[in-house]
Structure 1
Amino acid sequence: MGTPDFAAVVLERLFKGGYNIPLVVSQMDKPRGRGNLMSPSPVKAVAESLGIPVITPASVKGEEALEALKEINPDLIVVAAYGQILPESILKLPKYGCINVHASLLPKYRGAAPINRAIMDGEKEGGVTIMYMEKGLDTGDMLHVERMEIPDDMDAGEYHDALAELGSKALLAFLDDFENGNAYSKKQNDEEATYASKILKDELLIDFSLPALKVRNFIRGTAPFPGSYFMLDGKRIKAMKAEIGNASGEVGKVLKNEKGIEIICGGGSVIITSLKPEGKRVMTGAEYLVGHKI
Structure 2
Amino acid sequence: MNIVFMGTPEFAVPSLKKLIENYDVKAVFTQPDRPKGRGKKLAMSPVKEIALECNIPVFQPVSLKKEPEYVEKLKEIKPDFIVVVAFGQILSEEVLNIPKYACINVHASLLPKYRGSAPIIWSIVNGEKKSGVTTMLMAKGIDTGDMLLKCETDIDFDMTAGQLHDILSEKGAQLLLNTIEDFKDGKIAPQKQNDEEASYISVISKDLGEINWNNDAVKIHNLIRGLNPWPSAYTHYKDKVMKIHKTKVIDSDFEGTPGLITDVSKDGIKIETTKGKLLVTSIQFPGKKIMSVKDYIAGNTIEKGTILK
Number of equivalences: 293
Matches within 5 A, 1:83-94: 83-94=88-99
The answer to whether residue 143 in structure 2 is matched with residue 138 in structure 1 is yes
Residue 58 of structure 1, aligned match among 37, 55, 62: 62
Residue equivalent to 1:252: 259
Name the CA distance, whole Å, in 1 between partners of 2:70 and 2:263.
Answer: 56
> Could you list the per-position Cα deviations for residues 137-189 of structure 1 after superposition, in whole angstroms to 9, with x for gaps in the alignment?
11110001011111111100010010000100110111121233312211111
The answer to whether residue 281 in structure 2 is matched with residue 277 in structure 1 is no
Residue equivalent to 1:292: 301
Unpaired segments of 5 or more residues in structure 2?
1-5, 304-309
Give the partner amino acid of 2:212.
D
Contact 2:269 2:279 in 1 (8 A): yes
Residue 24 of structure 1, aligned match among 13, 25, 28: 28
Q: TM-score, normalised by structure 2?
A: 0.91
Give the partner amino acid of 2:296.
Y
Name the CA distance, whole Å, in 1 between partners of 2:26 and 2:102.
Answer: 16
Name the CA distance, whole Å, in 2 between partners of 1:76 and 1:213.
Answer: 43
Deviates more, 1:83-92 or 1:132-141: 83-92
Unpaired segments of 5 or more residues in structure 1?
none
Higher strand residue share: 2
Q: After the TM superposition, which segments of 4 or more aligned residues of structure 1 sit over 4 Å from their partners? A: none
Question: What is the root-mean-square deviation in Å for CA atoms of aligned residues?
Answer: 1.4
The answer to whether residue 85 in structure 2 is matched with residue 80 in structure 1 is yes
Name the CA distance, whole Å, in 2 between partners of 1:158 and 1:273.
Answer: 17
Q: Give the fraction of aligned pairs with identical amino acids, expressed as a percent.
A: 46
Name the CA distance, whole Å, in 2 between partners of 1:153 and 1:30.
Answer: 33
Give the partner amino acid of 1:257.
V
Residue equivalent to 2:50: 46
Residue 282 of structure 1 and its aligned partner are, at CA, apart by 0.6
Residue 190 of structure 1 and its aligned partner are, at CA, apart by 0.8
Contact 2:118 2:203 in 1 (8 A): yes
Residue 231 of structure 2 aligns to a residue whose secondary structure is coil
Residue 286 of structure 1 and its aligned partner are, at CA, apart by 2.1
Contact 1:257 1:271 in 2 (8 A): no
Name the CA distance, whole Å, in 1 between partners of 2:269 and 2:69.
Answer: 53
The answer to whether residue 268 in structure 2 is matched with residue 264 in structure 1 is no
Name the CA distance, whole Å, in 2 between partners of 1:231 and 1:85.
Answer: 39
Name the CA distance, whole Å, in 2 between partners of 1:249 and 1:240.
Answer: 24
